[in-house]
């Protein structure tokens, strides 16, 4: 029995040892495989990097041109604002240079005298492994003595484009004075700095514009200088002003039995002077004439009074003839039955009707009939 028990224990030990050995083998194999994979990946990455360095690339980039000069004393003209640089070299380096633009193109002007010069352009800050070509490789410049002045801004515009009857106010610029800088000779040429407004034809409202300033010489030509600031905002008030308008006169009888009279005036229309905005709303002038108590043919002097928005009428006085309709009918009947002697007498009476004349610009009247003064109430009708 002891022998059987011993054999059984030995068998268990052998089985356990076998399982443990297999587990250790699997672990070691997987570890070795992972290490090999990492080595292969590192080799691949290193190969890609070296391949990137080994491949070549060409590219173009635009850069601002830097001027090495004493810009407190000197002013440079003729130099371009930017240049093109053609790069060639390892792909990774060229790509980095294009993306970062961590290099610059410059012209060394510090050792030059005043006058015209041709200067070769140079590059700094670029990797030595990248070859380059600057386009253009040389520039022609003028080096002049620097000057600065302050000049007031003037606003200019064409008044012919303002609608008739509208008033123009004082133009206001947001910039009162500008500083001009440039070559001393060019700065001396500047006579004025103007803001030229562009006004549409028949303008009837206030203008607000953002305007580019211009430096001009005595002949109105542009001068090549730098202005600070270069833009101004201009406001030009345009409001309805004084104008003239002619409108018809309408006579209206008021008082007792107003419909029993015929009214006629010595003018068919009057001229109005005043604010254009008000004149535009007036369609006609209604003159009210009081006919109360009038029984015979009568001429009245009617003053047309100014009212708000209308400064003056022309004429200021009109003559209105008032004829009762009953008298007119009776006169017509009498005329058909009278003798030639009566006709002569009637003709003599007609010749005595009133007449008008002008004295010192005021209406006056001389007459032999019943003539009285009356004031007119003036009303307006708005245009629909």
Specify burial of residue 205 (Cβ count, 10 A radius: 0-12, 13-18, 19+).
exposed
Instruction: Residue 192: name the closest of 222, 157, 229 by CA.
Output: 222
CB-CB contact of 89 with 127 (8 Å): yes
**Where are the extended beta strands (E) located within 259-308?**
261-265, 269-275, 285-290, 298-304
Q: SS3 of 52, please?
A: helix
In the DSSP assignment, the letter for residue 353 is S
What's the sign of the alpha-carbon dihedral 82, 83, 89, 91? positive
Paired tokens of 248: 């018809």
Tell me, yes or no, if the two domains 56-136 and 146-240 fold the same way.
yes
Q: What is the dihedral of CA 157, 159, 161, 164, to 10 degrees?
A: 150
Q: What percent of the chain has pLDDT over 70?
A: 71
How large is the average pLDDT for residues 329-347?
Answer: 40
Paired tokens of 342: 């009566």
Q: Which residue stretches of the chain are H helix?
A: 2-54, 91-100, 184-189, 276-279, 325-337, 340-350
pLDDT attached to residue 354 = 31
pLDDT attached to residue 274 = 83
Instruction: Residue 144: name the closest of 121, 105, 112 by CA.
Output: 112
Pairing of strands 115-120, 177-183: unpaired
How large is the average pLDDT for residues 221-250?
Answer: 92
How large is the average pLDDT for residues 152-171?
Answer: 90
CB-CB contact of 109 with 68 (8 Å): yes
Predicted confidence (pLDDT) at residue 317 exceeds the cutoff of 70: yes
Per-domain residue ranges of the chain: 56-136, 146-240, 242-341+356-379
Q: Residue 25: pLDDT band by 50, 70, 90 thresholds?
A: low
In the CATH scheme, what is the code of domain 242-341+356-379?
A: 2.170.120.40
> What confidence tens digit (pLDDT) does each residue in 253-271 have?
998 888 889 999 999 999 9
pLDDT attached to residue 325 = 84
pLDDT attached to residue 131 = 94
How large is the average pLDDT for residues 331-352?
Answer: 36
pLDDT attached to residue 56 = 93
Give, in order, the Cα–Cα distances in Å from 345 to each of 335, 350, 351, 368. 11, 9, 10, 15
pLDDT attached to residue 311 = 80
Whole-angstrom distance, CA of residue 169 vs CA of residue 167: 7
Q: Which CATH number fits the domain 146-240, given the four candidates 3.30.565.10, 2.170.120.40, 1.10.260.40, 3.40.30.10?
A: 2.170.120.40
Whole-angstrom distance, CA of residue 368 vs CA of residue 351: 10
27 vs 233, more confident:
233
Is CATH 2.170.120.30 the classification given to domain 56-136? yes
Predicted confidence (pLDDT) at residue 241 exceeds the cutoff of 50: yes
Q: What is the mean pLDDT of the chain?
A: 79
Helix axes 2-54, 91-100, angle to 10 degrees: 70
Give, in order, the Cα–Cα distances in Å from 149 to each of 6, 23, 179, 231. 117, 93, 6, 17
Q: SS3 of 302, please?
A: strand
């Amino acid at each position: 029995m002891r022998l059987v028990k011993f054999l059984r224990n030995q068998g268990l030990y052998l089985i356990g040892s076998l399982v443990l050995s297999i587990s250790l083998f699997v672990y070691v194999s997987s570890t070795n495989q992972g290490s090999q994979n990492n080595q292969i990946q590192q080799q691949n990455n290193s190969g890609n990097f070296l391949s990137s360095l080994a491949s070549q690339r060409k590219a173009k980039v635009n850069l601002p041109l830097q001027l090495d000069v004493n810009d407190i004393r000197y002013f440079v003209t003729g130099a371009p604002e930017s240049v093109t640089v053609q790069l060639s070299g390892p792909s990774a380096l060229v790509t980095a240079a294009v993306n970062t633009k961590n290099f610059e193109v410059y012209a060394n002007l510090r050792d030059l005298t005043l006058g015209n010069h041709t200067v070769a352009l140079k590059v700094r800050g670029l990797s030595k492994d990248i070859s380059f070509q600057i386009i253009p490789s040389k520039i022609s410049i003028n080096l002049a003595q620097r000057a600065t002045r302050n000049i007031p801004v003037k606003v200019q515009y064409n008044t012919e484009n303002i609608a008739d009857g509208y008033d123009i106010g004082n133009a206001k610029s947001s910039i009162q004075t500008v500083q001009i800088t440039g070559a001393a000779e060019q700065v001396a040429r500047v006579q004025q700095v103007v803001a030229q407004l562009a006004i549409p034809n028949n303008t009837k409202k206030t203008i607000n514009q953002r305007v580019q300033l211009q430096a001009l010489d005595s002949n109105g030509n542009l001068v090549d200088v730098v202005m600070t600031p270069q833009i101004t905002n201009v406001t030009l008030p345009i409001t309805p002003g004084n104008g003239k308008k002619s409108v018809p006169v309408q006579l209206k009888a008021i008082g007792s039995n107003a419909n029993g009279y015929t009214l006629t005036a010595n003018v068919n229309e009057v001229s109005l002077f005043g604010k254009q905005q008000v004149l535009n709303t007036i369609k006609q002038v209604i003159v009210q004439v009081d006919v109360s108590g009038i029984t015979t043919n009568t001429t009245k002097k009617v003053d047309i009074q100014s009212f708000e928005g209308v400064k003056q009428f022309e004429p200021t006085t009109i003559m209105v003839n008032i004829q009762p309709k009953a008298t007119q009918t009776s006169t017509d009947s009498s005329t058909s039955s009278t003798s030639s002697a009566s006709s002569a007498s009637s003709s003599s009476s007609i010749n005595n009707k009133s007449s008008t004349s002008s004295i010192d610009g005021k209406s006056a009247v001389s007459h032999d009939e019943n003539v009285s003064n009356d004031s007119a109430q003036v009303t307006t009708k708005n245009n629909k």
